[in-house]
Amino acid sequence: MRSGRILLAALAAGVLTLAGCGGDGGGDSAGGGPGGLTVPKIDKLAALGAGEGEVNVVSWAGYVEDGSTDKSVDWVTGFEKETGCQVNNKIAGTSDEMVALMKTGEYDVVSASGDASLRLIYGGDVAPVNTDLLSNYKDVFEGLKNKAWNSVDGVPYGAPHGRGANLLMYRTDTVTPAPTSWSAVFDPASPHKGKITAYDSPIYIADAALYLMKTKPELNIKNPYALDDTQFQAAVDLLKQQNELIGEYWSDYTKEVQAFKAGNSVLGTTWQVITNLTKADGAPVEAILPTEGATGWSDTWMVSAKAKHPNCAYLWMNHIISPKANAGVAEWFGEAPSNKLSCAETKDPNHCATFHAEDEAYFEQVWYWTTPLAQCIDGRKDVTCKDYSAWTQAWTTIKG
Amino acid sequence: MARLGSYLHRHPRLRLAGLLSAPLLWLVVAYLGALAVLLVSAFWTVNGFTGEVVRQFSLGNFRTILTEEVYRNVALRSLGVAAAVTVICVVVAVPMAFFMAKVAAARSRHWLVIAILTPLWASYLVKAYAWRILLANNGPMDTLFGGPGYGLPATILVLAYMWLPYMILPVYAGLERLPDSLLEASADLGARAGRTFRSVILPILIPSVFAGSIFTFSLSLGDYITVQIVGGKTQLIGNLVYANIGAANNLPFAAAIATVPVLIMVIYLLAVRRSGALEEL
């Protein structure tokens, strides 16, 4: 028993020491963001100089391919030869990981999604981008420039990369008539109870909010990522009710492809690339953009505020949104390219049509993923909104 | 070198310190240190916007866990899964281990042990996805038994498959230590099979089974991958931890949830300590 007491004492000592160190750092917790706070003042690069010989990149898997995954997929080697900038790529698994990596200051550019980009901007981790130095920027679709997630007060913070919508997929042999609305996945009397699927992430609450935005105007939801207490509760209640219908939630795409092939799932949210893969495997599925619109994602290449290789970083950003490289990424990853001229460069001539790259009307119905913050991002000042950690905890209660 | 040797010879305490400093450092810094960080950070919170940890003492995380019904339900569900997995493993492992230790010929024994170990050579993920295909609609399990599909029963089934070797091996090791002569002596003294089992085998078996159950129980309690793959919409404690770290970057809340299985395991270990199971590990 004596050894037990020593162990306990050691543990207690450790805890006390750590608690002692833990005192500092609490003071700078007053965070900020849209609706009050200002962006850290960081100068953009004024003129392009000579390359520094290398560039450190943080990216999503599949965005920076140098032929090592698949010999025919390579848009890095040519760039390295042309500019002399050696590309060192670090793949991040989640948006949170991307933010953490960029905070180290060791990386020059990052392919941030909309749920990370504002955090990087307000955290002072990325610098405004001088778009005059990017010769390909003029060919980027207007619908992607100066948006809420990649610019602040009209100042652009990056080069738009690609985008996609979260669609509604269904099996054509079992789901008849074909659905046109998200009500198909929320209807408590659905004949497909137990075979409906939904994206397994707190951000899916926005899908319910989007549906309520159109079907319950009295809730007055203006933006599915800015929900006050009442609006949030309504979305959570809707999802709790939907939980009865769900067979399983999906988070990785292989899981969903297999579930739709086997028929364990017949109806639910999807990405275009998943639909293509499921179809390629011979399953009778279709995907639509429902009448209410949809949530979606859009990525942006951003340059670090502490970039050690800013010139190579600009050269890289310009290269990755160039028609050829952009087409390569869009096809390899399965998304709509951001450059207008990319559509002529894709191996599959229908790629842009399949992913609605040129269809601005289509993307006007898409609400891109954005981090929910306590400061409402729809501009309301009189209420506080639910932040992402509240969304996560609610997601736990929804799944039960 | 020789001088150092003789110096150490004259100072036994220094000798001991030299021998133990590396493992002690490992134990205190890496092992207890990580546990302490876990316990301490459970009392912190996270700034919702910057995602940075706010190092101020707060009981908020524990209040949420205790007051929200969902956490109680998930904890009880995880406990039930861990118990069911353990029971299944015991039922399958005891006859198997008995056969290996007492019935099978000595030279086939090590082949049997290798056969038990082979599933451990394959990646956990591959096995879980293989089960996902086995359990799919119109898959082998569905055709043969009409279910169970994806959900809680599937989770228990697959976890029991995953952890079975961890139950068989300690039980086999325990039974192997039981001399055959004891069984023969028991028979010579007139005991029937039932009496021999109760008086000779069971006292060896029980601590071994508890030793195995510590593995199956704690591994099931912490698992989140299997349930994510074959669990349908079920969530266990591991999923809650993962969701709070992976999606929300809320390490303090995840740490607070992680104290639940730690607490359950401490209670479990205290309960099985009396049986002598800890000596069997």
Domain co-membership, B124 together with B240: yes
- A99 membership: H or E segment, kind and range: helix A95-103
Determine what percent of chain B falls in helix, strand and coil, rounding each to the nearest 5: 80, 0, 20
Question: What's the rounded mean pLDDT across residues A136-155?
Answer: 89
How far is it, in rounded angstroms, from Cα B126 to Cα A209? 37
Cβ of A395 and B138 within 8 Å? Answer: no
Question: What's the rounded mean pLDDT across residues B63-77?
Answer: 91
Q: Which of residues 192-221 of A touch B (CB under 8 A)?
A: 201-202
Cβ of B233 and A396 within 8 Å? Answer: no
Which residues of chain A are within 8 Å of residue B51 when distances are taken between CB atoms? 96, 99-100, 119
Q: Determine, yes or no, domain membership for B15.
A: yes
Q: What is the pLDDT, as a whole number, of residue A124? A: 87
Contacts 24+ apart (CB under 8 A), B102-110: B102/B175, B102/B178, B102/B180, B102/B183
Question: What's the rounded mean pLDDT across residues A307-328?
Answer: 94
- Whether residue A260 lies within 8 A of chain B, CB to CB, comes out as no
Angstroms from B172 CA to nearest CA on chain A: 31
ipTM score for this prediction: 0.77
Q: Which of A77-86, A228-237, B90-99, B244-253 has the lowest mean pLDDT?
A: B244-253
Average pLDDT, chain A: 85
Q: What is the CATH number of the domain that holds B98?
A: 1.10.3720.10
Which residues of chain A are within 8 Å of residue B44 when distances are taken between CB atoms? 22
Question: What's the rounded mean pLDDT across residues A87-93?
Answer: 88
Q: Percentage of residues in chain A with pLDDT exceeding 90?
A: 54
A364 with A174: CB under 8 angstroms?
Answer: no
Residue B279: pLDDT band (50, 70, 90) is low
Q: Determine, yes or no, domain membership for B251.
A: yes
Angstroms from A348 CA to nearest CA on chain B: 32
Which residues of chain A are within 8 Å of residue B247 when distances are taken between CB atoms? 94, 96, 201-202, 392, 395
Q: What is the pLDDT, as a whole number, of residue B142? A: 86
Domain co-membership, B2 together with B75: no
pLDDT value at A95 more than 90: no
Cβ of A374 and B48 within 8 Å? Answer: yes
Q: What is the pLDDT, as a whole number, of residue B276? A: 67
A345 with A338: CB under 8 angstroms?
Answer: no
Average pLDDT, chain B: 87
Cβ of A396 and B248 within 8 Å? Answer: no
Q: What is the pLDDT, as a whole number, of residue A7? A: 42
- A165 membership: H or E segment, kind and range: strand A159-171
pLDDT value at A137 more than 90: yes
Q: What is the pLDDT, as a whole number, of residue B1? A: 65
- Whether residue A33 lies within 8 A of chain B, CB to CB, comes out as yes
Q: Which residue in B49, B63, B229, B239 has the most chain A C-beta atoms within 10 A of its own C-beta, making it the best mutation to test that interface?
A: B49
Which of A209, A148, A212 has the alpha carbon at shortest distance from A379?
Answer: A148
Sign for the CA dihedral angle at B150, B153, B155, B158 comes to: negative
Angstroms from A49 CA to nearest CA on chain B: 33
Domain co-membership, B38 together with B144: no
pLDDT value at A55 more than 60: yes
Cβ of B150 and A264 within 8 Å? Answer: yes
Q: Determine, yes or no, domain membership for B63.
A: no
Q: Determine, yes or no, domain membership for B55.
A: no
Q: Determine, yes or no, domain membership for B173.
A: yes
Question: What's the rounded mean pLDDT across residues A52-71?
Answer: 88
Residue B180: pLDDT band (50, 70, 90) is confident
Q: Determine, yes or no, domain membership for B162.
A: yes
Domain co-membership, B32 together with B161: no
Residue A247 is nearest to which of B33, B150, B248, comparing CB atoms?
B150
Q: What is the pLDDT, as a whole number, of residue B22? A: 85
Domain co-membership, B9 together with B86: no
Question: What's the rounded mean pLDDT across residues B230-245?
Answer: 89
**Where is pLDDT greater, at A128 or A15?**
A128
Domain co-membership, B38 together with B74: no
Residue B44: pLDDT band (50, 70, 90) is confident
Domain co-membership, B24 together with B108: no
Nearest-Cα residue of chain B relative to residue A242: B233
Domain co-membership, B164 together with B207: yes
Which residues of chain B are within 8 Å of residue A232 when distances are taken between CB atoms? none
Question: What's the rounded mean pLDDT across residues A269-298?
Answer: 90
Q: Determine, yes or no, domain membership for B56.
A: no
Q: Determine, yes or no, domain membership for B281.
A: no
pLDDT value at A205 more than 50: yes
Contacts 24+ apart (CB under 8 A), A15-19: A15/B36, A15/B39, A15/B40, A18/B36, A18/B37, A18/B40, A19/B40, A19/B57
Q: Which of residues 320-379 of A touch B (CB under 8 A)?
A: 373-375
Cβ of B50 and A251 within 8 Å? Answer: no
Which of A164, A62, A64, A59 has the alpha carbon at shortest distance from A102?
Answer: A59
Q: Which domain holds residue B37?
A: 1-42
Our CA angle for A68, A134, A113, nearest 5°, is 60
The residues, any chain, with a CB within 8 Å of residue A119's CB and separated by 6 or more, are A99, A371, B49, B50, B51
How crowded is the C-beta side of B249, counted as CA atoms within 13 Å?
A: 23
Q: At what angle do helices A205-215 and A229-243 cross, to 10 degrees?
A: 110
pLDDT value at A394 more than 80: yes
Which residues of chain A are within 8 Å of residue B38 when distances are taken between CB atoms? none
- Whether residue A162 lies within 8 A of chain B, CB to CB, comes out as no
pLDDT value at A34 more than 50: no
Tokens of A147: 């948006």
Q: What are B188-208's pLDDT values in tens digits? A: 998 888 898 888 888 889 889
Question: What's the rounded mean pLDDT across residues B38-53?
Answer: 76
Q: What is the pLDDT, as a whole number, of residue B246? A: 65
Q: Which of A30-39, A111-120, A155-164 has the lowest mean pLDDT?
A: A30-39
Domain co-membership, B7 together with B77: no
Q: What is the pLDDT, as a whole number, of residue A22? A: 35
Domain co-membership, B16 together with B101: no
Which residues of chain B are within 8 Å of residue A119 when distances are taken between CB atoms? 49-51
- Whether residue A399 lies within 8 A of chain B, CB to CB, comes out as yes
Q: What is the pLDDT, as a whole number, of residue B248? A: 67
Cβ of B49 and A24 within 8 Å? Answer: no
- Whether residue A31 lies within 8 A of chain B, CB to CB, comes out as yes
- Whether residue A294 lies within 8 A of chain B, CB to CB, comes out as no
Residue B64 is nearest to which of A375, A393, A400, comparing CB atoms?
A393
Question: What's the rounded mean pLDDT across residues B245-269?
Answer: 85
Cβ of B243 and A388 within 8 Å? Answer: no
Domains of chain A, start order = 54-163+297-355 (3.40.190.10), 164-295+374-399 (3.40.190.10)
Q: What is the pLDDT, as a whole number, of residue A387? A: 85
Question: What's the rounded mean pLDDT across residues A218-242?
Answer: 95
Domain co-membership, B94 together with B167: yes
Domain co-membership, B83 together with B30: no
- Whether residue A189 lies within 8 A of chain B, CB to CB, comes out as no
Q: How many domains does chain B have?
A: 2
pTM over 0.90: no
Question: What's the rounded mean pLDDT across residues B223-235?
Answer: 91
- Whether residue A13 lies within 8 A of chain B, CB to CB, comes out as no
Cβ of A400 and B46 within 8 Å? Answer: no
Question: What's the rounded mean pLDDT across residues A268-286?
Answer: 89
Q: What is the pLDDT, as a whole number, of residue A18? A: 39
Q: What is the pLDDT, as a whole number, of residue B80? A: 95
Angstroms from B227 CA to nearest CA on chain A: 11
Burial of B274 (C-beta count, 10 Å sphere; 0-12/13-18/19+): exposed
Q: Which residue in A205, A240, A388 has the most chain B C-beta atoms within 10 A of its own C-beta, making it the best mutation to test that interface?
A: A388
Cβ of A263 and B149 within 8 Å? Answer: no
Q: Which of A7-21, A86-100, A159-173 has the lowest mean pLDDT?
A: A7-21
